[in-house]
Amino acid sequence: MIAKISKSSNLYGALAYNGEKVDQKTASVLFTNKIKNDIECSMQDALKSFERRLRKNKRTKNTITHISLNPAPEDVIDDLTLSEIAEEYMEKMGYGYQPYIVYKHEDIDRHHLHIITTDVLESGKRINTSQDRRRSKSITDAIEKKYRLGRADIRNTSEFYKPEKVNHKKPKIGHQIKNVVRHFLDYDFGSINEFATMLAPYNINLQQVSGKYEDGNTYAGLLYGVTDNSGQKVASQIKASSLGKTYGHRKLFQKVFKSKDTVKEKIKFSRTKSILKTEMQRATGLKDLQDRLHKKNIDIVFRKTDQDRIYGVTIIDHNEKLVANGSKLGKEFSANAFEKLSHSWQSNSLPNFENFDFLGGNFENVSGGSNDISRGRKNEAVDDQDERKKRKKKKRQIVYYST
């Protein structure tokens, strides 16, 4: 059994994500602990139950804990046993007296659990979460032995954390966009450009627009567009404001501002750089590198000129919930470094689009003095400074490797 633990400050987003699964009848509330109205609880009931705790500690950030428990594919576990496992896990992790909700997800063949709780104790202090991943591993090992469960492979659990791509042929386009954006708002990113890069594989084209009204007042906003799997725009753009404040210009810039220090800390102390270094030494080409990183739950995006020169690299570590341009991690991960590495591998062209599941689109400017945030002209430095002038006139190709 694999347990994955993530922290955030977005209580509503975590509850809404699971609530929508329940509404779609691909999930159900298995049981609750210290939540009003138990399994019949509404969104409002759940929010009130958690907020009683959260009001007692407003200074500490990221006190919402989202845990998923993923049995091995061959395990067939009835609801009663799943409830016992979840309760035992939460008690041993120190959450036995906390409010929490246990959801059973059935949207894929491997049924699994999602648990939402908070780190804030009744006293207002925070639960000690140091070494929680190490403690979690020992607890799940013990649960496997006790209930005679199979050994789950962490490489097979990554799909639990990736939302479905937006499909323009299905109804409720705005609802589909919100599902994807809400999922990735828990990640830390240093610019809206990096956030846009992360959304593109899910058929979302994010653009920033700005300008002046006739009265001289300025405006700024975001537009969400939809692409097909070949990166072509297929639907009218949607104003971010029509989706709600959570998905709008101001909220995302606040997220960028809050995330900057966290991004630096994650780059400094996370596993990401060491994995990149190791796999770059072992890989035999760009595709092979991508495959190796994908197995470690890391995705990589290469941006290219029309002459097949790599001018930008974005690293997305799903375990660390970190998104960053390669150059932020160090010179050895910059666009120039990968360009040289690709030549040393004698791989001068990236694979055809047909070979990949995730395909990015061409980001275009919107009239009215817009920022093309996919290129990061005002939001962040571009990896290859020599390409700046050329980029204004040329179409950009964004290639997403994925297995």
- Flag whether the pTM goes above 0.75: no
Beta strand ranges found along 213-309 (DSSP E) = 218-227, 233-239, 298-304
Q: Which two tokens stand for residue 198?
A: 């992360």
pLDDT of residue 84: 94
pLDDT of residue 9: 83
Q: Are 230 and 303 in contact (CB under 8 A)?
A: no
SS3 365: coil
Low-confidence ranges of the chain (pLDDT < 50): 155-161, 347-403
End-to-end C-alpha distance for the chain, whole angstroms: 23
Question: ∠30-246-371 over CA atoms, to 5°?
Answer: 140
What gap in Å lies between CA 195 and CA 191, rounded to an integer?
7
Q: Length of the chain in residues, anyone?
A: 403
What gap in Å lies between CA 20 and CA 32, rounded to an integer?
17
List of domains in the chain? 2-161 (3.30.930.30), 184-400 (no CATH)
Q: Are 311 and 335 in contact (CB under 8 A)?
A: yes
What gap in Å lies between CA 301 and CA 289, rounded to an integer?
12
